[in-house]
Amino acid sequence: MRDAWVALGEALRFDILGGLLLAVALGGAIGLERELQGKAAGLRTNILICIGAALFTQLSIAVAGTDGDPGRIAAQIVTGVGFIGAGTILHDRGLVTGLTSAATIWLVAAIGVAIGAGAALEAVGVTLLVVLVLAALRWVESAVQRRSIVQRVTIETPVAGGRAAQVAEIASDVGLRVIEVHAVEKSGRQIVTITAEGPLVKQNAAQREYLALASDVAVRVEE
């Protein structure tokens, strides 16, 4: 009976199956945190990336055998995941979002490679560390964003009356304390400089509103 189970295990490759199940668990742990935060690259995405990286690494080692290079297929995972990560990064009106999701995808792929290469303990350790960074340290980021800072923002727009008043109104509406507003016209454009005090999250919200003032707006920030 024991020989039959051994033969069945060799036929079904339980070692590979076990690695893939571990990839589901570890990719799912990170993906769940992303899903709870409402990120596009959530539970399913991170699980699939981790499984794919683990499987490609295992196949790379198997195909190489004893004479080939076991890293030839696995090395392409870095390139492939780079394209996926780039797809999560968005650039709109001077604001960049999705960098954390892209970095998370890159790390999940690295965890999958570690599983495929047989470094299961290291993969589990890195997963715990990533979840700690993403979840437990979020309060640090929140505390930093709540800290009141003073920023001077310069907004360049096509010449139009009332821009200074609009800018000041936007800052006040998002909860900033307006310290000073100054407007001049130069080279066919109106330049409004506003100095305001408030938390970083509100400063960022105001900057998004400044960018929506017109189709051709430039915003520069000086703390």
Q: How would DSSP label each residue in 10-54?
A: HHHTHHHHHHHHHHHHHHHHHHHHHHHTT-SS-HHHHHHHHHHHH
What pLDDT is attached to residue 128? 93
Locate 60 and state its tokens.
């790379």
Q: Which one of 79, 101, 136 terminates a domain?
A: 136
Q: Are 100 and 133 in contact (CB under 8 A)?
A: no
Q: Which one of 136, 166, 181 terminates a domain?
A: 136
Q: Which domain holds residue 182?
A: 148-222
214 within some domain: yes
What pLDDT is attached to residue 136? 76
Residues 161, 78: one domain?
no
CATH of the domain at 207: 3.30.70.260
Residues 42, 66: one domain?
yes
Locate 68 and state its tokens.
């080939």
Q: Which one of 82, 101, 136 terminates a domain?
A: 136
What pLDDT is attached to residue 12? 53
pLDDT along the chain (223 residues), means of 10: 55 72 92 83 89 89 78 80 77 63 89 91 93 80 74 84 83 89 84 88 86 79 72
CA–CA dist 105, 46 (Å, integer):
7
What pLDDT is attached to residue 53? 92
142 within some domain: no
CA–CA dist 107, 202 (Å, integer):
31
What pLDDT is attached to residue 212? 83
What pLDDT is attached to residue 69? 79
pTM for the model stands at 0.64
28 within some domain: yes
DSSP state of 213: S
